[in-house]
Structure 1
């Protein structure tokens, strides 16, 4: 790949729905990841989360943390905190005006700047020097039924203005493609599939042989608002919630009625479960338990809420999803005060739950190919990245369209940031940037 100006300093930021990763390039043709000494151990993955709590000693009476530190603060004091995760999913949502945090209203860009301030602080010496430019990854398609890319761009501009330098936006799979292309010694056509927490994105790039005036040429992209978070919820909804009463019944006088789904809505986001731990909700659930035909299931739901087990419950869901990537069967186990759940699940069952999602992902791959004017047999390499790329059903989706020998993977959580930093060193950087209103 081209080498940038000596001494040029670029930061590549993969600002993800679930995790964020930062890489630094210094003009020597390579890039390295920024490590964070988090409470649960040093690593390059920084959770895209915020936690707020009231503190009169702080300016404005509001304290906050981000990343794994935010999770630690929330778990220590959930009732006195306001936890936000996956806020990136609101970037292109015109109906989202602000998040109410205690008595303050914070717009998306304000949340973003607070997040970046903590990201910079926890990055240590690596993040103290002012960069010449930053290259930010963005989805090919934002999450939401009617995403507004122009609104997302304006919000990103206001958020990343914190750096006080040039800001460039590159489709996330193009970042991964750029990094992968640096491994190639021959001309090739490359498809990159990036599976994040909120979106699955696909880009096709023509890679010329080393020494070409322009080594990489983007050909087409497509995306869909389905990814790892959706797969987690499929497990929660199909495997776990029935053991907490979903789909069950209760007696009302001489009738037997199905338990309303509204009781389980907040299980879509573990941090919202803390809000259910209030006298009114718990009293209502206690009444439901007395009339339920399976009171033990409602008792398990009450135990999750009373003992603030939402985060641990979703961690267990993630563990079983990962186990099914390498095993044909897995056991979901979860225990806490007044609670013990165990259930076996097969990979076949899981794949049946996510089948509608896989169909939409397949359609997005076909859209990317059509946009590039290419057939599947004209793709020389397929690079799969992102955590959900490890799911066998996802991999088979690509094996059914492309020869298995053409499929590669690796650095599932960090390849995008690494490639974005390298893109920032390319003299032809404008050719890689995403259109402002797209």
Structure 2
């Protein structure tokens, strides 16, 4: 029996939190293993202080957690569409452009692809959010162009894009036996995207699906924003956020806490100027024990570990009504209890924005909520119980479906790569 033909193209979902690579072989899409047997790779790098090659994914996070000296970087996709993509970050003694950091990560994905399928795949369909940047078409185009350049630098000579929610729709469509009008709600690490599309086994065979797409929109709100809001509400007050100085005459500057709560800005909090300023503020602080915890986190460069503790508590609250924030080893303070109700209160504003965009997509299509057959929820942050309630409230009575929360976009991109490039 002859060997099956080698695929000529791949689909790459470079995500804010996790990434996947997919291939279609003999008409069957599948994700390739990227780290051991796992088909998902956390979008993280760790550079050792000595300047050796970076570690990736779970290995990168493990190196940081184990206390190795070096620099952990996550949420790299969030730099696209912002001024950061044109800036550099210090790694050891070297200033490294953020574009180079992302290129390194893409190079690792390329190496895993070559190991799985053999070298020579030069065509790729990349996933992208509906909007890299809200209400900024020029910035959005620049973000896509930057990602395309990075992919070409890693040997993909033919690069095209597909919206991430539409890719998820293709993955869901492969499970259908009849036609459905489906709203895809893709809550990723950095963006939330929405697409209203007619899906069916028959429509799946069409080369052009433009007529099936009835609405499409997105906002720059995702899981890392949930983490930031949760951190500012529950974690940063333990470090002195909103406390006063000088007997009530002043207030602790908020920017230290915003930097520590925002993945792509954490390293900015570690500057010597910040340390000097916080030491001075500590002498005036009306809650010196809490501000001392802030100083400890910044001096010891524990901001990333603090963010991971916040994320871990958020994840725990998807399945429990209460969880403990493990802060003592990082701050010297207590390990406070947090509740799902308090998490949901902290996320009220971003969840309202998500609900509003669902209404926008329905209005684009000129449809009412009752016309939707199914809502397909995907993306790592889509597992929050509050999100399902928000969607159910916006679309009462509509069936909610889920699939591979982290892999549906990559699978759909593999389907699209097979369709576009054969």
Q: TM-score scaled to structure 1, two decimals?
A: 0.83
CA distance in 1, matches of 2:185, 2:264: 29
**Aligned to 1:225, which of 204, 220, 224?**
220
Deviation sequence 1:224-249 (CA, Å, 0-9, x none): 11111111011110101111111112
**Residue aligning to 1:157:** 148
The change in CA–CA distance for 1:325 and 1:75 in structure 2 (over 3 A counts) is: closer
Q: Is the 8 A contact 1:273 1:305 kept in 2?
A: no
Deviates more, 1:262-271 or 1:67-76: 67-76
Which residue of structure 2 lines up, in the alignment, with residue 44 of structure 1? 39
Alpha-carbon distance in 2 for matches of 1:75, 1:318: 14
- Please list the CA deviations of residues 12-69 of structure 1 after superposition, one character each: whole Å capped at 9, or x if unmatched: 111112221112211x22222222336xxx52222223445676xxxxx874444344
> Higher mean Cα deviation, 203-212 or 182-191?
203-212
Quick one: structure 1 residues 416 and 279, their matched pair in 2 at CA, closer, same or farther if it must change by over 3 Å? closer
Question: What SS class does the counterpart of residue 411 from structure 1 fall into?
Answer: coil
Once residues 283 and 401 of structure 1 are traced to their aligned partners in structure 2, the CA distance between those partners, rounded to angstroms, is 49
Describe the superposition over 1:260-280 as per-residue Cα deviations: whole angstroms up to 9, x where unpaired.
223323212357555555665
Moved more, 83-92 or 374-383: 83-92
Contact 1:327 1:347 in 2 (8 A): yes
Q: What SS does the corresponding residue of 1:163 show, helix, strand or coil? A: coil
Match of 2:237?
Answer: 242
How far is the alpha carbon of 1:73 from its aligned partner? 5.3
Give 5+ residue unaligned stretches, structure 2: none
Greater shift in the superposed pair: 305-314 or 186-195? 305-314
Q: Deviation of residue 307 (structure 1)?
A: 3.3
- Structure 1 window deviating more from structure 2 (142-151 vs 188-197): it is 142-151
Structure 2: how far apart are the matches of 1:213 and 1:414? 22
Which of 351, 358, 374 is matched with 1:358 structurally?
351
Question: Partner of 1:136 in structure 2?
Answer: 126
1:170 alignment partner, SS class: strand
Q: Retained in 2: the 8 A contact 1:249–1:294?
A: yes
Compared CA separation, residues 210 and 225, structure 1 to 2 (3 A) = same
- Secondary structure of residue in 2 paired with 1:384: strand
Paired with 1:190 and 1:338, the residues of 2 have a C-alpha distance of 46
Contact 1:249–1:293 under 8 Å retained in 2: yes
Does residue 313 (structure 1) correspond to residue 306 (structure 2)? The answer is yes
CA contact (8 A) 1:93 1:144 kept: no
Q: CA deviation at 1:360?
A: 1.2
| C-alpha displacement of 1:305 | 2.6
User: Which residue number in structure 2 is paired with residue 91 of structure 1?
Assistant: 80
Q: Distance in 2 between matches of 1:286 and 1:378?
A: 59
Q: Does the 8 A contact of 2:375 with 2:398 survive in 1?
A: no
Q: 2:164 aligns to what?
A: 172
Contact in 2 for aligned 1:195/1:388 (Cα 8 Å): yes
Count residues with an aligned counterpart: 412
* Matched-pair contact (CA < 8 Å) for 1:8–1:132: no
Q: Does the aligned pair in 2 maintain the 1:141–1:225 contact within 8 Å?
A: yes
1:378 to 2:371 alignment: yes
| Alignment partner of 1:398 is 2:387 | no
> Who is 2:14 aligned against?
15
Equivalent position SS for 2:151:
helix
TM-aligned CA deviation for residue 315 of structure 1: 1.7
Q: Deviations over 1:125-178 (max 9, x none)?
A: 215332263111010011356352221232122111123343221000111100
CA contact (8 A) 2:306 2:330 kept: no
What TM-score, normalized by structure 2, do the two folds share?
0.86
Secondary structure at the counterpart of residue 132 of structure 2: coil
SS at match of 1:115: helix
Larger mean Cα displacement after TM superposition, 208-217 or 165-174: 208-217
Contact kept, 8 Å, 2:176 with 2:200, in 1: the verdict is no
1:291 lines up with 2:284 in the alignment: yes
- Whether the aligned pair in 1 keeps the contact of 2:230 and 2:310 (CA below 8 Å) is yes
Corresponding residue for 1:34? 32
SS at match of 1:424: helix
User: Of 182, 197, 206, which residue of structure 1 is paired with 2:189?
Assistant: 197
Give how far 1:370 is off: 2.1
